[in-house]
Structures are given as C-alpha cells and as structure tokens.
Amino acid sequence: MVDLRSQYERLQADIDQAMQGVLERTSFINGEEMKVFAADLGKYLDCPTVITCGNGTDALQLVMMAMDFRPGQEVIVPAFTYIAAVEVLALLGLRPVLVDVHPETFQIDAKKIATAITANTVGIVPVHLFGQCADMGAIMEISKNHGLKVIEDAAQSLGAVYRMPDGSRKHSGTIGHAGTTSFFPSKTLGCFGDGGAAFTNDPELGQKIRMIANHGQRQKYFHESIGVNSRLDTLQAAILHAKLPHLDDFVQRRNAVAKAYNQAFALHPHIRIPQLVPNSTHAYHQYTIRIRGANRDQLRDFLKNQGIPTMVYYPLPVHLQPAYHYLGYKEGDFPVAEQLCNEVLSLPIHTEMEEDQLDHIISQVKRFFA
C-alpha cells in the first residue's frame, strides 16, 4: 500500500546524515534531536506543548491517564475505527461507548453523539479516520455544552487542517483538549520504527502527560503519580526531524493521487469515492472507496492477481470484535459501521506514485467491472 523505499531513496542524503549524527553522539535516549523535533513539530502544528513518546497507542494512554478519568466513566468513540483508543479505554477500566459513523466521510457521526451521552460520560475521541478531520465544529460545541474532554486521535491525519466556525484554521490534533499521533513507518509522517506524540494547548495538562510518560516523576526518583515508560528514541526523532519539512509536500502528493482516483471513479456505477468533511483538508493517509452492487473481495483478488495491493480498513467493526463482546453490543447496533466493513477498499497511495502506476491501477479497477 505504501512505498517506503522510494521515499527513503529520495530523502536519503538528509536522513542518513541525521542518523549518522546520532550514532556519533551516542545519545540514544533523550538526545538533542528528540527535543529539537518536538519543538519543530509544535511550531508546525502551532501548538505549544508536544510530548513525544513510544507510539501512537501510548500517546492515547498518556493523555487518558493525565485527564484523571476514573474507572467506570464513559468515553465516546466511533464504531468504525482502528482499535487503539478503544483498547486504551478498556485497559484503564473506562467504558468505550460506541457511536456510528457517517457513511460517506467515514468519521464519527456528530449528530449521533448526543444520544450516547450519559451522566457518566467524560470524553469524546474523534478518530480522524483516513486523513481528514471529523466534524470538529459540531464536536467542540457538544463538548462545551456537556463539559466533555475531546481527545483527537490524529494518527492518520497529521497535516490536515480544519477551519473552525470562527474562521481560524487549526491543525488536526490541536482543536480539542489534547491530540495524539503515530509515527509508525506507514503513517504520513513515519519514522523507521515506532514513535508517537501527544499535543495540547493546555500547559498544565502537557506537564502531566510528560510526567506520566516518564514514570510519573517530575524529579528523578520522586513519583507523583503512577506512570509508564514511553519514549521516542533519538534515532527516530532525528529521522522525523529530517522528514518534517517535507510533510506538507507528502500531503500534496497524496492529494494529487486522490484527485486522479476521484476523477476516474466519480461517476462509476459501482464505486463511491470518499466525500470530504466540510471545513477540513484531507491528508489522504488512505484513499478508501466503497464498492456497491459488486463483490468487494472479488475485486481485491482480481487486483491482487494483477500485482496491485489493496487493503480493507477495517474488516470488522469494534462492537463485533470478540475482545469487546463484554460491552454488550450486538449485530445491527451500528448499521453504517457494519455496512462499511463489507464495502470499503483502500487503494495504493503514497508519495512517490508514478503516473503509469496510477493509470494501471485505475484501468485495472475499471476492467474488473467491464
């Protein structure tokens, strides 16, 4: 789905030099590059506090712990999503409360959030799925009216920007009370291993997140709260620091691929192209279509035989996952999520896609239906 090698080859001189610098200084943990990258990411996002950590799932956990949520309290999450936020909530003894998604944008359906709120609800996790923002104008309004914390999972949406109702433009992950992201190699800004970050505009919350990531200590060997050990190592930070100046270009290149797919498939009787959320730009971490009135899995097999990789993100909604049966949901509870799991197909998209590759994919998809 992604072509990590071709991007590395294009940026190799800068990346190799950055890595070599770390090797020479042998400051592998908490090295200078880690601080420099965190500061640069903060500047890019226009967000004062960036805490780097071990991965995107850890980032969610650090934020949830820092918010002092209590076991038994409820947090709203989309039913069609990557599992990380649900998993972290469950581990902390919180109850993930699922809400169905919008069929055309794949984002949590803001209109359905209100009915899921109870006296126990403390937060909402909009997962900016596939690279565009959820309906943050509406979500922040709900959060204000009900006193809920908003934790944005921006693991797929780094680089996307949302225009707020007041006209200001904010990066995904910096709109709510806190945001998180992942630098997993295939993410839009990926390192060469695991990495993640949390961000917040609230300096006090930021300090707490930082403390929890470091064994709950501000001062070495004095533990104020139960913490974890979660760090972005210096080598990964150096790689990310070399790649960050290219992030907007990565997003542009992905948008060019998405545009070509959109043009090719917009009027196709069996393909629904992804719809944009009003006021959001799209980083196209994934380009995901829906297959209607045809067999999605047969198309997958057909493309695979032509040497074209595709993926199904995601094949099973949260409420039908065996691990989460205990939540008590049943089939039919989230019909849109269930439908999407049967219809979605993510096509190859990356930053070095050549025109002939793109033409080949488009013509083979069309040939399947011919």
Segment interacting with ligand PLP, rule: CB under 6 A, options 49-57, 72-80, 239-247, 316-324: 49-57
Taking each helix axis from N to C end, the angle separating 56-66 and 203-213, rounded to the nearest 10 degrees, works out to 120
Q: Are strands 271-272 and 287-291 parallel, antiparallel or unpaired?
A: antiparallel
Sign (positive or negative) of CA dihedral 353, 367, 106, 56: negative
- Tell me which of 187, 243, 330, 366 is the catalytic residue: 187
C-alpha span between 47 and 42 (Å, rounded) = 5
Nearer to ligand PLP, 187 or 208 (CB): 187
Residues 298-357 that bind ligand PLP (CB under 6 A): none
111 classed as catalytic: no
What residues from 137 to 156 belong to the interface with ligand PLP (CB under 6 A)?
Answer: 153, 155-156
d(CA 157, CA 131): 4
Closest distance to ligand PLP from the beta carbon of 93 (Å): 20
Determine the Cα–Cα distance for residues 236 and 192; give it in Å rounded to an integer: 6
- Among 7, 49, 52, 55, contact with ligand PLP (rule: CB under 6 A): 55
The H or E element spanning position 200 is strand 196-200
Q: Does residue number 196 form part of the binding site for ligand PLP (CB under 6 A)?
A: yes
Of the residues 37, 82, 106, 250, which one makes contact with ligand PLP according to CB under 6 A? 82
| Contact stretch for ligand PLP (CB under 6 A) within 55-63, 104-112, 272-280, 286-294 | 55-63
* Cα torsion through 361, 366, 368, 370, rounded to 10: -160
CB of 59 to ligand PLP, least distance (A): 8
Q: How many residues bind ligand PLP (CB under 6 A)?
A: 13
For position 73 contacting ligand PLP by CB under 6 A, the verdict is: no
CA distance 97 to 334: 12
C-alpha atoms less than 13 angstroms from C-alpha of 131 in its C-beta half-sphere: 26
| Cα–Cα dist 71/11, whole Å | 46
Span of 5-13, 51-59, 228-236, 248-256 interacting with ligand PLP by CB under 6 A: 51-59
Distance CA 139, CA 113 (A): 8
> Is the Cβ of residue 31 or residue 196 nearer to ligand PLP in the bound state?
196
* Pair 69, 123: CB distance under 8 Å: yes
Q: Which of residues 167-186 bind ligand PLP (CB under 6 A)?
A: 182, 184
Q: Residue 54 or 227: which CB sits closer to ligand PLP?
A: 54
Tell me: does residue 127 bind ligand PLP (CB under 6 A): yes
Which residues lie near ligand PLP (CB under 6 A)? 55-57, 82, 84, 127, 153, 155-156, 182, 184, 194, 196
The set of catalytic residues is: 187
